[in-house]
Amino acid sequence: MAKHIFVTGGVVSSLGKGLTCASIGMLLEQRGLRVRLQKFDPYINVDPGTMSPYQHGEVYVLDDGAETDLDLGHYERFTHVPLTRDCNYTTGKIYLSVIQKEREGRYYEGKTVQVIPHVTDEIKDAIHRLATDDVDVVITEIGGTVGDIEGLPFLEAIRQFAIDVGRENCLYIHLTLVPYLKAAAELKTKPTQHSVGALRQIGIQPDVLICRTEHPIPADEKDKIALFCNVDRKAVIEERDRQFSIYEVPLSLVNHGLDEILVKRLHLKADPLELTEWRDMVERIKNPKHELRIAVVGKYMKHRDAYKSVYEALDHAGISNHARVLVVRVEAEEVESRGAEAMLGGMDGILVPGGFGMRGIGGKIEAIRFARTHNIPYFGICLGMQCAVIEFARDVLGLEDANSTEFDQTTEHPVIWLMPAQQSVRERGGTMRLGAWPCVLATEGFARSAYGVDQINERHRHRYEFNNAYRRDFEDNGLIATGTSPDGEIVEIVELNDHPWFVAVQFHPEFQSKPTKAHPLFREFVAASLRHRTDGRPGTGVELEARSVASQG
Ligand code: GLN
């Protein structure tokens, strides 16, 4: 029977609960256990697919087409756990199911449908769904912070869960903040005490406390936390802010004995911990041999999580190239107003990520033109591919008003247009071309040599596509389709045949990159950018942000 770990958060949001869950998953996996990971989000949207990136950050897409919370990206980067749409439930998704059952009229046998037991049962079913016979541990992360009204049904459900399956089969971890007060020169444990107090009021006694802190927690403060929170002293785990990288988190948890506590407390039959590959990877992050600058030109640059997986995949590519990637975040609209040379001069590579809507398109197109005409490695992703096609059509094919019908429905040259299957779609939620689709690679080109195979599977999230009526014209002039759907109908990859490295893809390769195994296209893009790198470049007027190895979490 599967064991269960529930992870809640207290005091403040953004403590890195997703990273902690991913780290725990990784540690258990590296002890030979079969793990599943799942996140509950207390908001009412059925999934994050309809939310603005400003609200929510990136929408993370799974193989099965589920549009999910970006914490699932951490799960996939840290572990090999299979993820499906059963791994992310929102309040909206739970209620939708309850309401559909009620409308069908059979399930609830005429009863009044209520939060307890019907909504909590629905939540518990979602947990059970992952606990199949071939699984040792299910880790369930509860989004939000203890004390939020909207999180209550989830907390109640995980409380009941231990009664259903036995308390000995469940373990509750609470992640809290132990803030440092400068004026008092002290770490403060009171917020943790209050947060655990709130949990206990609901009926949940945490077994393990993970305390986020900027400074080491002295022994007597740990004693205090243990005493007031009724938690075993050894189970008060310190999680210090990372110095170099988020990928250090599991190593620091091991140093504080977390994996052993979990294994003992849940009576798991586990192997010794195997972390050689992970430690090697972290060493590489700490000791890069090169440094390079990649401009990411997009429109949600101020939100640090809007292109989360792209930034992570660039880091991974850096790791595999022994390089530290300095990501320079460039607002596309600023490229329009200040010009490409001012914003992008001196960059070693340029990447335009996915996106929606008209704002900033001109700047993205200018950035791509700059990369194309200055032989700077270019990597276009989804909208970044569509813009590359528009740019080439306008400048090389001479189709001046070439456009995507997303931005101009009356353009004479719709080089990007709505996919036929999308034409009748009216509802916005979950209706794009989503999830993993096969793509056949041409025998030559950058993509083929990066992947080294003739067929790939990549994840998608788009409504518009390359218009095949123009394919011949593009190819005759040097922009070649080097990847298509197996029937040849959907162009998935285009590349320039006379450029150091210019690849643009309709899919989202960033969702399949790991720190221990960079995605081939990211790896080769960074390798090409390293080759392009010249020393003593002129200043760019763009603030450098050395986020590559440190600041994300
Ligand atoms: N807006 C474009 C489309 O829907 C691109 C989407 C994306 O970049 N994810 O096709």
- What global pTM score does this model have? 0.93
Q: Distances in Å between the alpha carbon of 339 and those of 58, 330, 331, 343, 539?
A: 27, 12, 11, 6, 15
Output the CA torsion 207→248→251→17 (10° steps): 10
Q: Which atom of ligand 1 is found nearest the CA of 432?
A: 4
- Residues 409-440: tens digit of each pLDDT: 999 999 999 988 888 888 888 889 999 999 99
Of the chain, the end-to-end C-alpha distance in Å amounts to: 33
From ligand 1's centre to the CA of 523, what distance in Å? 23
| 536 pLDDT above the threshold of 70 | no
CB of residue 382 inside a 6 A radius of ligand 1: yes
Q: What pLDDT was estimated at residue 242?
A: 77
Could you say which of 118, 510, 519, 524 is catalytic?
510
Tell me which of 429 and 526 has the higher pLDDT.
526
Q: Average pLDDT for residues 43-66, to the nearest whole number?
A: 91
Short-list 207, 225, 204, CA closest to 158: 204
Identity of residue 457: N
Closest residue by Cα to atom 8, ligand 1, is 354
CB of residue 303 inside a 6 A radius of ligand 1: no
Name which of 96-100, 237-241, 246-250 the model is least confident about: 237-241
- Residues 351-398: tens digit of each pLDDT: 999 999 999 999 999 999 999 999 999 999 999 999 999 999 999 999
| 331 pLDDT above the threshold of 70 | yes
Q: Which helix (H) or strand (E) segment is 24 a member of? A: helix 17-29
pLDDT above 90 coverage of the chain, percent: 86
Residue 538: pLDDT band with limits 50, 70, 90: very low
Tell me how crowded residue 152 is: count the other CB atoms within 10 A of its CB. 17
- Residues 380-389: tens digit of each pLDDT: 999 999 999 9
As a whole number, the mean pLDDT across the chain is 93
Tell which one of 52, 386, 505, 507 to mutate to probe ligand 1, the residue whose CB is within 8 A of the most ligand atoms. 386
CB of residue 383 inside a 6 A radius of ligand 1: yes
| 539 pLDDT above the threshold of 60 | no
Helix axes 152-165, 120-130, angle to 10 degrees: 60
From ligand 1's centre to the CA of 298, what distance in Å? 13
- Residues 62-114: tens digit of each pLDDT: 999 999 999 999 999 999 999 999 999 999 999 999 999 999 988 998 999 99
Residue 543: pLDDT band with limits 50, 70, 90: very low
